[in-house]
Structure formats: structure tokens, C-alpha cells
Structure 1
Amino acid sequence: TIMHLFLLLILHATAAVGQIDPAHCRYALGMEDGRIRDEDITASSQWYETTGPQYARLNREEGEGAWCPQGQLEPSDTQYLQVDLGRLTFLTVVGTQGRYARNSGNEFARAYRLNYSRDSVLWKSWKSRLGKEVIQGNKNAYESVINDLHPPVIARHVRLIPVTKPSTAVCMRVELYGCPWDDGLISYSAPEGQLLMAPGYPVASLNDSTYDGAHERRRLLGGLGQLTDGVVGLDDFLVTRQLQVWLGYDYLGWRNDSLGAPGHVEMDFLFDKQRNFTSMKVHSNNMFSRGVKIFSSVTCWFKPRLIASWEAEPVTFKTVLDDRNPSARYVTVPLRRRAARALRCRFFFADVWMMFSEISFQSGGKPLPSSSCFSLLSVGCVFARLYFLPDPSASGRPDDGNTPILIGCLVTIILLLVIIIFLILWCQYVCKVLEKVDFLSHPDVGQVWVSSGGLLISSLRSPPVASQRAVQDGVLARPSLVSIWMTQPSLSPPTACGGGYAEPDVTQCTPHQGFHGPAPHYAETDIVRLQGVTGSNMYAVPALTVDSLTRKDISAAEFPRQQLVFREKLGEGQFGEVHLCEAEGLPEFLGEGSPLPDGDGCSVLVAVKQLRPDATSQARNDFLKEIKIMSRLNDPNIIRLLCVCVTSDPLCMVTEYMENGDLNMFLSQREMESTLTHANSIPSVSLSDLLHMSVQISSGMKYLASLNFVHRDLATRNCLLDRRLTIKIADFGMSRNLYSSDYYRIQGRAVLPIRWMAWESILLGKFTTASDVWAFGVTLWEIFTLCKEQPYSLLSDEQVIENTGEFFRNQGRQIFLYAPPLCPPSLFELMMRCWSRDIPDRPTFEGLYQALRPHVGP
């Protein structure tokens, strides 16, 4: 619906800001093109009027060609050029030139220092990560020199101070690069970081080495540092992203028993103005094998103004601790749109150590006053006094005024309700109109609106400064966007059958109707999406397969419920739970020739999907439909329905389950086979094992595609594995807390596995066999990285969505997954074909199977 669309846009807009990657936050801030005004550029002095600070613009030749301070510059002089950026900015790059003046000048700065301020009062000196203050400048008057700031700085005012050893004339032209600092955070205070000294491990210094505030009584005060430098720490806190730094450099960390207030770390955050906070994202290490975990809970207090007291009612959030996946991760803390200028948060330990590498905040712009509802009523009361209070000059007994005021307030409330109802009805009307349109292109601005369950996407940004690292480590080469607008699309308009997109009133495209993609796309009205126990669906299937359903249509045998012995809960969803059980006597119950999971005893491990007794009637009906669909599937690489329990509540379906669990967990616990793994008895897999797994998944998906079934959630977490490395495709991943980070959660909508989804599925809501092919390519990538990291691990969920916009625009800016070191080049080329932007260019599952099969021996 349109309301869901609005919620998605709001969530995307608020979550995208504050997640800044310094390698790609490299946008020219306006010295060269004039967006920074002359009056915002000042200097300590100028030699002539024609060498004033307004002429210090990179690649420009106005005036005498540059800014030149007065007289010969001495080594002891402190002359500066000052730029007011107009707002807080994440500054990453400085470019400088000398005065060339069409070959008539030859003055330049061989070196300079950088000072910066966030309030124009307190100035700070920039230092490199190794403590150096002087930045190398120019070697001639005409070539520009681009210097990356490591670390970057957050500032509004910037001063460039030329440095010289001999007495000489100096002139400068400048450009500054970065992007807006939408977080608005101007300082944080926290306990100083500590040393980690553990027997058998090297010493790690977990201090905030780039903090630009004060250090008093072992506490950091009034500055910003490594928690806002955009560098996200790795899973192993001893491994750093920077060269020539000490171990533990990327993290700020504390030991539980070494603080004055044991059990928690207290941090204060100060912002540039009052904001309406939606969430806080904290990147935390979780290397539990060394006593490091994400925080167990956090409690935050709010201060609306600097001179106010902390509000009494805090926000408390408890995290879900993970003792199985040691990966560092972002923890999102909802802040319930509380208005504040300052926050105080207490992070409570879950283990011996707690380590953070980044903290960012999302806010909804200028907040409403805390008494906004009463303010609206007050407006009504004002109108009541204007229009309902009696005229004092009128005759008769004067009224006390309470009744007219009450009437006015009630009228105001009624008017507000009428307006809200009108807006809801209008939104529903607009939604119905948009459902009939896939694309609307404006001829003047070339913008595209996408509907039918997709997103409204836009991008209005200037290109970043040229860099040798246009794309690094798979990170999106664009800053976070409030919204994405797809400009100048190269996608041709959709047709009913030709491109795999169906209009709402089209029934089904068959191959002879002109469909060139790998499988037909069914219209929304002809698709059955089974909710199952997770609240989402396993397969989207043609409606004709379930057009009439009664219990007598269920061919699976009824199994005695009392013979199912609970072992553990695998997951849960909106309508039920998935349990791992032992089925006593199942082989005898099914008899010879029936599908059986591996196991020679009388008890067999099975997965039991159980519907809650209080589930909705729609969920109950979908559950029975899923049973019928599952009973039709008969392939060695697809999970099999063994039996059911539907004569009484709760309804259950019993499916296969392999003792090796899912493929993601299996591979993540193994290394590639080598002499070292054999010598040390390390669990390992060979390249032929990985190829064998790939062939089996392609075989199972080929079978589903032959039935026009669309899986929608193909990934290693949904592939089960037995002791002989036989793979069966299942659907349990979405219901398991272990894989909750693989799904993008949107309030009021089903969770989405966006890192595995094709661009047309995210933007247009189109799920076809071709989008399953895309997911298969990502699954192959998982297999050949041994599931050691999440796809696009350095991109936030919001940046992944932005990247799909780049696929749509097809201007060469889209980010692909890197080639895994273990992957043969020919196989990575096959992955890239799966990620083709145009659907007809993607292979079919039949073609994928035929391409992979020769890699596996007989």
C-alpha cells in the first residue's frame, strides 16, 4: 500500500544518514563552482585587493589568480585562509594549487597545516593518525595536489595555514571535499579506552587515538574521534584497516571490572540542535571467544535543551545476544522519536569486554514540541475564545467561559479527525491509481517514478572528486541519500510479456507470446503467496495449483502426534514455530520406498512446522495450501514433506531435516582443504565439494523453475545438508533469529532478504524465476567465500538499496560482489551473468545446471 511505501521511504531516509564511508564521501564542496560564497571565504591578510581570499578557488584564474597573504611568509608566521562551509561537514579531502595566473605567477605553498572548528569559537589542529600536523603541499604553481585526511574531520569552519622553512611569498587556491554531516553530533564523552592484555595474545590498545576533545580524569570530554570517523572495525579486533598502527586501533574498548561504575559504560552525546531521534546505530565487536560481546542492553536519557535537566523517562533496549556468530555488527537501538539536544546512554556489559568502532544517530529533522497535541488543542481553544466567548458589552448574565472553550476544543478535535480520514482515503485512491502504472517519466527532468509495490527513488548529487579508489572494498561510491531518484533510465518501458513484467490485468505470459526471460512472470492476481508459519512465503506459485482445497486433498499421511519428541526450536514467525524433533517409528510408519531422511535407526530427525492455534483463518488456510504444494514436490534436492498432523490443533507438517544443519553454518565452520588442515584435524572442504554443492542447488532450482515456482529466498541458510553432502532446498532461514541480520525489516511489511534480491524485486516488487537466478548467483558467492561474510558486508542495508538504483540507471556505478579467491574465473563469470541488469541476459536454471555439471566428476 501507499502507507507501506511511505514507511519504507521514511525508514530509508532516516537510516541512511550518518553512515558515512570516507573513501567515497569525496564531493567537491563548492570552492571551484562558486557554491561557497565570497563572503564565506576570509583570510588573516591579503597582499593586494586582487589577491584576496575570494580568489582562492581551485582551477580558477580570477583576480590575480589566487589568495596571497601579505608580504614574505616567515617560518614563524601564522597566516590563514578561512572557509565557512555553512553547515557541519564530514571533511575527507583537501586540494591545493599555487598562483599560476596564466603563466605570470609562480607562488605556491610547499606545505600547510589545517585547523578546524565546529562553532567558530573552539579551534582544533588536525593531526594524522601518526600524529603529524603538516600536510605536503604543491611542487609547482599549476598542478593541483589532492590530500586525503586520515582521519577525516567534522567541521563547519576550516583554516588552511601555509607553512614554509625559508622566507618566501606564498599563494594558494583551494578546494575542499566531503559530504554533509547529517548526524548533527558535535561531541561525545566517554571513559578512556583501555589496554587488553590476555595470556597468549598480543597487547591491544583500545583507546580513542584521534579524539579531538579534552582528556580529564581518564575521561574523554567535548570532542569527536574514532567513533565518528567512518571506519568500521573488523570481526577480529586485532586486525586493523590502517597501516602502521597498533593492534586494536579501530576499536574503543572497556573492561567490565575496571570502571568506576562496574556493569556499564556511560556516554554523553551533544548535538548541534534539538532533534527528533528515531534510532542509534552502534557498531560493536562480538568476538566472544576472547570475552568480547555486544552490549546486553542500553538505557538512554534525553535532555531537550542544554540548560534543562535530564528527562525522567528513559528509553531502554535489550539486545539479542549471539553466541554462535562472532562477526562484528551494527546494533540498531530505537529511540522512539524522542526530542532532545543531548543524550546520555548507559551500555551494559554482556561479557568481560565491550568494544565499539562507530556510533551514528538517525533523526527526523526538526522535532515537534513535546506538547504538540496540547498545542493543537490550544489552537482550538484560541479560536473558541475568538468566536464563542460572549461579548462583554452584551446584556444578560455573563458566562464563565468554560463551556465555549470546551466546545471549541471538541470542534478542533473533530476537524483533525476529518482531515486524517480524508488523507487516508486520498492515499488509498492514489495507491489504486499508481498500481496501474509501472513508470512515469517527466520529459523535462528525466525523473522516473516506480510504483506497483516498488520504491520512489531519487538522486541529486554532483560527482565525487576523482580518486584512484573510486570503488574500494565493495563500498557504494555515493554518500547516503535521503531518497533515491532514478534519473535518465535506460530501461525500456515494460510490456505485458516481452520483458517479464506483467500488468495487473494480464493473466500469464507463455513462451510463444514473446517472453524472452528464463520463466514467465505471473500477474499479482494469479499468484498465491503462502504465509506459512513465518508470516512470509516459501514459494510463489500459480493460482491454478491451489484453486480448490479441502482436507481430503492432502495426500500426506496423518502421523501420530505423540511420537514427535521435541529437541529444539529452530525459529518462529508471525503465525507459528519451527521445531527440530525426533519422529519415533517414522521409517516403519512410511514403509518401504517412501522418502526418508538419512538415518538407520527407528528415530529420525525431522523439522516440524507448527501453526499456532490462535492463528488467523487466512494463515490457517495458507498453511493447508502449503501442505498441498509441498506434497507435489518430488526432487532429490528439494526438502520433502513426510507426513502431517492436521486432525487436531495445532496443525503440523513434518519435513526432512539433515543432521549437518544448514549450508551457511556448515561452511562458516570450515576451511579449505590443505596439508595444514589435515595435520591439525581442522574441519575442511575441497573445491570439488563446493562445486558439487553448487550443482545440487542448481538442480533443485531447475526443478522448481520447471513448475514455475518462485522461491524468493534462495540462500545458503535455506539449504540443508546431510552427512554425504547432499543438499536439499528449504525455507527455514527467515524464521531463525540466527539469520535475522540477513533481512531488512520494515514496520508493517514482511522482512526482505535484500542482499540476495534482484534490483527489480527491490524496486518494482517483481519476483520471477529470473530473480531467483540472481539470488542463486549470490548463493554461489556465499559458497565460495565459505560463508565467512555477508554479501555486501561493508554496505549498510540502505546502501544496498541505493545500489539497486544504480543497477536500474545502468550508468556503470553499480557495485558488484568481488570475486572470491577460491572461485575459478569461469565460475565467477557465471555469477556475473546471474547479476545481469537486463532480465533476458540472465541464464536459466537449466543453463546454469548444464554449465556447472561438467565441473563435477561422475
Structure 2
Amino acid sequence: LGSAAFSSLMVEVMIVHFLSYIHFLPGSDSSTAAHCRYPLGMEDGRIKDHDITASSQWYETTGPQYARLNREEGDGAWCPAGLLQPSDTQYLQVDLGQLTFLTVVGTQGRYARNSGKEFARMYRLNYSHDGQLWRSWKNRLGNKTMEANDNAYVSVIKDLHPPIISRYIRLIPVTKMPTTVCMRLELYGCPWHDGLTSYSSPEGQLMMPPGYPIASLNDSTYDGAHERRKLSGGLGQLTDGVTGQDDFLVTRQYHVWPGYDYVGWRNGSLGSGYVEMEFVFDKQRNFTSMKVHSNNMFYRGVKIFSSVSCSFKPRLIANWETEPVEFRTVLDDRNPSARYVTVPLGRRNAKALRCRFHFADVWMMFSEISFQSAPCPPPTRLVTFQLPASTLPILTITINGENAKLSVFGGMTTPSTKDQPDDGNTPILIGCLVTIILLLVVIIFLILWCQYVCKVLEKAPRRILEEEVTVRLSSSSDTIILQTPPVPPRVSQMDHPYERVFLLDPQYQDPAGLRNKLPELSRSAETSGEYLFAFLSSSPFSSHLHLSFNQRHHVTSYSVPHYAETDIVSLQGVTGSNMYAVPALTVDSLTRKDISVAEFPRHRLLFREKLGEGQFGEVHLCEAEGLPEFLGEGAPLPDRDGRPVLVAVKQLRADATNNARNDFLKEIKIMSRLNDPNIIQLLCVCVSSDPLCMVTEYMDNGDLNMFLSQREMESTLTHANNIPAVSLSDLLHMSVQISSGMRYLASLNFVHRDLATRNCLLDRRLTIKIADFGMSRNLYSSDYYRIQGRAVLPIRWMAWESILLGKFTTASDVWAFGVTLWEIFTLCKEQPYSLLSDEQVIENTGEFFRNQGRQIFLYAPLLCPPSLFELMMRCWDRDIADRPTFEGLYQALRPHVVQ
């Protein structure tokens, strides 16, 4: 990576790891129920006794504080007073302390060391955000009762479908006949840091297409008011963590109706060309973006919204601000896949939002809406002390967030004893006020000091490489001292770039395990700066360790290619496409004579479609007239029967800087060195005049991602219904070709850094050529993670060392090849780690680094032979040296292809 982009990534990953350790609840902030299943603290005591209450208790020893799963304290459980009647509503209430995404409930009866036998066979759940307004939970079919225990000792774990977003939970035992009931409890979930407390919208509608099942697109789990075809004051399917599938008639739940996963509206049915929704939050927040999961089945009249306009309200009783944020989407009529649309919100402050989503077709359907935001800093507080002493000044201290200002407005004359009688308490009062002033001065000094050291922290990644670094973790306390003067262990003043922070690991790392990792880490870190960064990314705050090292004493027992990190050309080319990483010396001192390909007449390039763009350039799909004759025999062009040849043209814009112009020429030289049947080839250039252009191959079948996502596996059904299909042999053939092309790049010491199906082009005969401009296409923008508005990274395809250490090598390309194989054998039906957010993916790289068995791997595709999935797993080996080479991958895959 370039130094600025890499430094930004280092800081961002440090923030993620730092925040993951200062959160005391070991749960994830994800709203995805499949991953948000962490115990919330009944059993281990994090939920305190005073937060557990009940409507009644039989004895003191069966009070609510004893309702802890797997605990045998008191008389073994909570037992309401007397026999429980069928009409009773006795309850056990838990205050979770904050809004929580609750996904699982576990219950037990009273065992009492083999002397008890009371338990509840059924129960109901009520929940509340504020402890005042209570709602009843019901499952997706409308049933409010959940089955519980059939004995006193075995715990029963029940998933909540749908999950609950709440702070207060009431568990109400239910019985069909009078009986004694006792219960123990554990709740599972994670903190709900989105802050969204309710949304309002028009009710969903029925879709009755001819020849298809009727789709009911209502919000069936909405828990607010439902009046006059308007939903208000509640939450429902748009916050339940379940994203709809590409075909909106196919559901992820069982025994529900078609269209269940989506809330949808028909254009024109609301009296306007848009759907208006309001979102209310727990407090005033600073909004970065909104993510809306939308269906895009355009051939059924369903598209993502064409544009959205969002207005902001700083307080619920205030008026809507007059300047909305507007965003226009890029409509896609080629890929019918459902997708997240990210709407930037411009860092506006508000407690409520009103968004109007404009129709692009007959129907618009949403399945999830989430927000990236952070609580606003506290408002300015003005404190004035006027001391009654003779000549003391009036002192005004203003505190706004973390900024402080001290002002002295003048003095006071000494009042005479005749005007003001002497009071014996006056000296005591003066002493107290002077003490308060001194304390406030100390606080101001600390705030200013923190501002200073946080500025130093921003520069730390560069300084680490130059200074001696000592890290001490005290054995007697949980503190860290970083002696790279002056770098504080504080990052709260830095802009938080994340939508959410996910804690994949609920346990702190074992100190002994960390010691065992240190020799391995020292081999893999080329510089002390990387050593410190990797150490900070993995160290718990409770470890007991002393470590010191110096930049002058490098560990060189592990060989790292010299083009890793500092010698890498910037990841994103000027046209928005990837640039191969090569040894830096090969791109120095470029002139026109270094360009070995011919100049093509510019007027023969006919524009057909804009494929994408970057900061200073664009990528176009063009037809090149007379190109085969121009290039002569042996040109790597498809047979077009005399028709113009499709080519991809990278063009530098007129406003490009001199640096961008030089980088463009460097890219031309890099591309001109490549000559392999499975690598996109630079055919010719137009550099005699502006704008500068390079002309590369393009394939009729487009990219591999789109090709596979529109196909099914070959079967009798696909033949009978004329459905586009591919065979297992086709997929293996594609895999071999990609490995062959990457083997060629590796032989030249070229590192691709963005290998994925979106960067593999395909012709009619299923010949694959590896390309590099998937990054520039809006269609694949969700595959890239943006670092503070600058560089973008394909983190779902990147090896752990590329994310944490900035190392791009052939071995990291092998990792990406494993992910590409996974895409191929899932027919590109979903994104890698589709259930994880970008921040959760970054967290998972830390687990790969720690290598303690808690990292999340991609699952084995159903279409993938076991031996091939084993090969993928080898590509994702934590140790770089243990990953296969591309030569080995090619030799392993080649025998599986039928010649």
C-alpha cells in the first residue's frame, strides 16, 4: 500500500482492536442473529442482583437473584409465591443496562442439588425499551408461548425468531393447571449500538402477479402501532438481521408465505413516487451512512430505489432541517442479485431521520436497514463561579466535548465590613471553592494534554520505524505503557470510521499462548513497526509480559519479498483499476521509448459503455475497428467474423495531475510485460496526444462473477427448462486456468493483490483471462472497504498479513486464490463472509493471526469435492510458508480436468 493509505489502515485496525478490548460485554455488535449469540451475564454475574427483579418470590432463598442458569445458590432458583395459576402473570424481570439484540433464551428448573423438581413447561416473553411501554414477543407465525423444560436439571436453549431489540426483559411462566414453578435463566445476544429505537413506514402490500404465487410483502413482525395503513413507533423485519434472497418469493424461514423476508410497496399506490420512512434513535447521533438491503429482480418489475432524500431533526420536538442529504443510485439492469445500497449521510447530527425512497420501477422491496453512526459529543456546558472573596476574579470554564477554555472576566472590589457582615463560614466556603478551581484547572490540563498526545498518535505509525520501542505490560495491574514518547493508549479523539465494532472473541487471549506466538511473530515481522502493530492487534490488556526491541536489530530469519509494503505501487491505479505490485526498480525512469506496444488510431475506438472510473481516469468498453489487421497475425483476439473487436480502454482524464500521468505510463509498462494465454494483454496505446489511453482485451461473456451468478449447476431440470448451466468439469477447467495465469505472474515476481472472480474475464469457449479493473466498477463497490475516503481494499479476499501488516506477496495472492475458488464453487451466489460486516472481517483477521482456533473460515460449498476444499483450506493457512505455491496448485488441479 502507499504509505498514507497503509498508515490509515493501521490506525483503523488498531481502533477496532482497541475498542474490542474496552467493551466489557463479550458479545458482538452485529445485528445478525446467526453470530450474535453471546451470554449476557446471568450465569457469570455480569448482570448484577439489583438488575434482576420479580413480581413475587416464595422465600428469600428463592428470590430473583437466584435465577441464574447452572448456578445452585440459595435454594436453587427463582420461585414465585404460591401455586402458579393458569391466569397468573408472575414474572422474572432482567434489566440489561442498555439496548440489546436478544437472540436466544436458555431456561432450567430448580434442581437444588438433587432435592428440587420444580420447572416451567412453557413461558412468554415481554420486553420494553424504557421499562414503561411493554410489548409481547410472538414468533413469526404469531404464537406468543414458547416451550421450556420437561425436567428440573437440563437446560433448554430456544432461538428467538424473530429476535428482540430491548433493554428490559420479562419472562412469564405459563401453566395449564395449578402447580409450583421455579426457573433459572440465561439470555444470549449482543449490544445494540445502532441506537435505532423505532421506524415508521407505510404498511407493506400484496403482490399478485399473473402466473406466480401471491407475495405478501407486509412487515409481519412489526411491534409498534398499526393504524390507517401506517406503521409507527416500533421495530420489525427491517431490523431482524435476516436479509432477503435474490428471488423475493424464496424465504429463509420455514412455514411462511412467499415474499415474507421483504417489505415492499407498489409505485403509485401511496399517492407519490416515493416511500417515506422515519427513523428515531436513542440519542442525538452523528450519521455517516445508511445501508439498505434491496431486491433488484428487474425482470419482475422490482428494482432498487432510484434516489433517496434524507432530512434530519436534531430533537424530536424540533422541525425538520431544510437542507436534506440527497443520493442517486446507479441502477443495474444486468445483475438481478439483491444487494446492500450504501447511502452517505454526510456526518449530519440528528435524533430522527426522515428518508424518501423514490421508485425506479413498479415495485421496491427492502429486507434490512442499518445505520453507521456514533453518539454526538456532549453539548457545551457553561459553568461560572463568582467567589465572594475580596479580590477573587470571576472564572468561567467552558467544556465542549474534549475542548476546554478558561476565561477570567475581571475582579471584584473588597466589600467593607459595614456592607457585608462577617460570617464564620466564609473561610470554609472560600477554601472549598479554591479546591474546586484547582481541580478544574487540573482537568483542563489533562484535556489539553490528551489533545496533544492524540496528535502524536496519528503520526505514530511512521515514527515507530525510527525509534526504539518498549512495551511493558504490568504483572500487577491491567495497564499498558507504550514508551514511544509520547504515544498514549487512547484513541477516542480519532474519527471512528466503522459502522459497528464486532467482538468475535468473547474471551481475552491467554497470556501463555501469546508468549508462544512471539517467536513466530518475530519471524514474520520485517520491521519493528510491524512487530509492534501486530502485537497491539493481538495482545489482551490483562497479559503479563515484558518485551523490548530496537529498529536496528531486525529479525531476518524469515524471508520477505523486498516489494512488500514500502516498495508497492499504490493499490488503486489512476483509472480506478488495480495495479500489480512489482519490484519498484522496474517502474523507475519511464519515457515513451519504454512503451513496447504500438500506437493505435484514436478515431477507430467507438465508445459502447462506461465500465467504471477512478480518481483521474475511466474504463470504457469500446469497439476497435480494424484491430486484427493492425496487430497482425498471432494477436490474442477472438474471432469476430469481420465485426469490430470488443476492447477495454483505460483513459486518463484531462484534469489528471502530473503524478497521475506518470503512474499511468508506469501501468502501461507493467502491462506490456505480461504475455500469457490466461492474462489480459495490453494490445496497443494512444499516447501521442491527450487523453492518454491503453487498450486491453475484453471478453464477450464479461466477468466470471456475473457469468456464474446467472447460472445453475447442470442437471436434467436445467436441460428441460433451458436454464443456463455449467458443469463441475467447467468449474474445474476455470480453476485450472486461473491457477495457470497466477503461476505466470508469480514467475515474474508480480503480485496481483486483487484476485477475484470479478477480475476474471470469460469468452465463449470458457477461456479465462485474469484482468485488473474490477475495482473501478460500481457493480462491485460493496466488495471493497474504503479507508477514510481514500484507498479501497478487497478485505474479504485479503490474507491476514495484508490487512494487519500491509504485506502483499505471492502467498497473499494464494490466499485470494482460495477465496476465488470458493466463489467459483458457490456459483458466485453470495459474497465471501456474507454474514460478517467489513469490521467483523477485520476482526477475524486478528483471530487468524492469534491462531487459537477461533477464526471463522468460509464454509465448504455443496458443489465442491472434499479434496478441493482441503486445497482451499491450505490456501488460508495462517503460516505463509505452509501455503501452496501457484505451481503446486496448478499441478494439483490439472489432473481433475478432462482433457
TM-score, normalised by the number of residues in structure 1: 0.85
Match among 460, 479, 488 for residue 430 of structure 1: 460
Tell me the SS of whatever aligns to 2:139: coil
Q: CA deviation at 1:614?
A: 2.4
Q: In the superposition, relative to structure 1, how do residues 514 and 352 fare at CA in structure 2: closer, same or farther (>3 Å)?
A: same
Which structure 2 residues correspond to residues 7-26 of structure 1 after superposition, within 5 A? 19-26=30-37
Matches within 5 A, 1:361-760: 361-369=371-379, 386=409, 426-427=456-457, 429-435=459-465, 442=473, 479=502, 488-489=513-514, 491-493=517-519, 499=524, 501=526, 520-529=561-570, 532-535=573-576, 537-601=578-642, 603-760=644-801
Gap regions ≥5 residues in structure 2: 21-26, 383-396, 416-444, 492-500, 532-555
Report the secondary structure of 1:227's partner residue: helix
Does residue 120 (structure 1) correspond to residue 131 (structure 2)? The answer is yes
Task: Give the equivalent residue in structure 2 for 1:404.
Answer: none
> What is the CA–CA distance in structure 2 between the aligned matches of 1:676 and 1:67, rounded to whole Å?
58
Matched, 1:81 2:92: yes
Asked if structure 1 preserves the Cα contact closer than 8 Å seen for 2:380 and 2:401, the reply is no
Match for 2:812 among 758, 768, 771? 771
Equivalent residue, structure 2, for 1:406: none
2:149 corresponds to which of 135, 138, 141? 138
User: CA offsets, 1:185-232, max 9 Å, x none?
Assistant: 222221111111110110111111111122111111222211121112
Alpha-carbon distance in structure 1 between the residues aligned to 2:709 and 2:401: 60
Contact persistence 1:19–1:360 (CA under 8 A): no
Paired residue for 1:197?
A: 208
* Residues 61 and 235 of structure 1: CA distance in aligned 2, closer, same or farther (over 3 Å): same
Of 708-717 and 50-59, more deviation after overlay is shown by: 50-59
SS state at 2:792 partner:
coil
Correspondence for 1:183:
194
Which of 328, 340, 343 is the aligned partner of 1:330? 340
Classify the secondary structure of the residue corresponding to 1:738: helix
| Structure 2 CA distance for partners of 1:648 and 1:238, relative to 1, 3 Å | same
Structure-2 change in CA distance of 1:700 and 1:208 (3 Å): same
3-state DSSP of counterpart to 2:849: helix
The superposition leaves residues 615-652 of structure 1 with CA deviations (integer Å, 9 ceiling, x where unpaired) of 12122112212222222222221122222222221112
- The answer on whether the counterparts of 2:8 and 2:787 sit within 8 Å (CA) in structure 1 is no
How many angstroms apart in 2 are the aligned matches of 1:608 and 1:553?
20
Return the letter of the residue paired with 1:106.
K
Q: In the alignment, which residue of structure 2 is the partner of 1:257?
A: 268
Q: What do the CA deviations read for 1:734-759 (whole angstroms, capped 9, x no partner)?
A: 11222222211223431111121111
Q: Deviations over 1:67-96 (max 9, x none)?
A: 222222222222222222222112222222
Counterpart of 2:368 in structure 1 is: 358
Distance 2:405 2:635 in 1: 78
SS at 1:605 equivalent: strand
Asked if structure 2 preserves the Cα contact closer than 8 Å seen for 1:491 and 1:808, the reply is no
Aligned 8 A contact 2:577 2:774 in 1: no
Contact 2:731 2:825 survives alignment (8 Å) = yes
Residue of structure 2 in register with 1:288 after alignment: 298
Q: In 2, are the aligned partners of 1:266 and 1:345 still within 8 Å (CA)?
A: yes
Q: Distance in 2 between matches of 1:232 and 1:378?
A: 37
**Distance in 1, Cα, partners of 2:185 & 2:454:** 52
- Aligned-residue CA RMSD (Å): 3.7
Identity among equivalent pairs (%): 75
CA distance in 1, matches of 2:131, 2:282: 13
Partner of 2:441: none
Residues 420 and 583 (structure 1 numbering): CA distance in 2 closer, same or farther, change over 3 Å?
farther
Distance 1:850 1:158, change over 3 A: same
Relative to structure 1, the CA distance from residue 828 to residue 114 in structure 2 (aligned partners, 3 Å threshold; closer, same or farther) is same
Cα distance in 2, alignment partners of residues 531 and 44 from structure 1:
62
**TM-score normalised to structure 2 length:** 0.82
Task: Pick from 51, 54, 62 the counterpart of residue 62 of structure 2.
Answer: 51
1:31 aligns with 2:72: no
Is the 8 Å Cα contact of residues 500 and 839 (structure 1) preserved in structure 2?
A: no
SS of aligned partner of 2:105: strand
CA distance in 2, matches of 1:629, 1:44: 74
Cα 1:648–1:579 change in 2 (3 A) is: same
- 1:65 to 1:258, Cα distance in 2 relative to 1, 3 A: same
Instruction: Write the distance in 1 (CA, Å) between the matches of 2:764 and 2:12.
Output: 45
Quote how far apart the aligned CAs of 1:422 are.
Answer: 5.9
One-letter amino acid of the counterpart of residue 192, structure 1? E
Aligned to 2:115: 104
Give the number of equivalent residue pairs: 800
Secondary structure in 1 matching 2:582: strand
Assess if the C-alpha contact under 8 Å between 2:274 and 2:359 holds in 1: yes
Q: Secondary structure at the match of 1:541?
A: coil
Cα deviations across residues 418-444 of structure 1 (Å, max 9, x unaligned)? 999966862464222234699968475
**TM superposition shift of 1:592:** 3.4
Could you give the per-residue CA deviations for residues 238-273 of structure 1, whole angstroms, max 9, x where no partner exists? 1111111111111111112222x3211122222222
Structure 1 residues 237-316: aligned runs within 5 Å: 237-259=248-270, 261-316=271-326
Q: Does 328-337 or 438-447 show the bigger shift?
A: 438-447
Instruction: Give the corresponding residue for 1:509.
Output: none
Q: Which runs of 5+ in 1 are unaligned?
A: 394-414, 459-477, 507-512
CA-CA distance at 1:849 after TM superposition: 0.9
CA contact (8 A) 2:381 2:400 kept: no
Q: Is the 8 A contact 1:502 1:522 kept in 2?
A: no
- Specify the code of the residue in structure 1 equivalent to 2:896: H
Q: Is the 8 A contact 1:531 1:622 kept in 2?
A: no
Distance in 2 (alpha carbons) for counterparts of 1:20 and 1:110:
30
* Alpha-carbon distance in 2 for matches of 1:118, 1:505: 45
Closer/same/farther in 2, CA of residues 447 and 749 from structure 1, 3 Å limit: farther
In structure 2, give the amino acid aligned to 1:711: H
1:789: how far off?
A: 2.3
Q: CA deviation at 1:665?
A: 2.3
| 8 Å contact from structure 2 (residues 380, 399) kept in 1 | no
For the residue of structure 1 that corresponds to 2:872, the secondary structure is helix
Alignment match of 2:75 (pick from 57, 64, 68):
64
Q: Do the aligned residues in 2 keep the contact of 1:586 with 1:602 (CA within 8 Å)? A: no
* Alpha-carbon shift at residue 334 of structure 1 (Å): 2.2
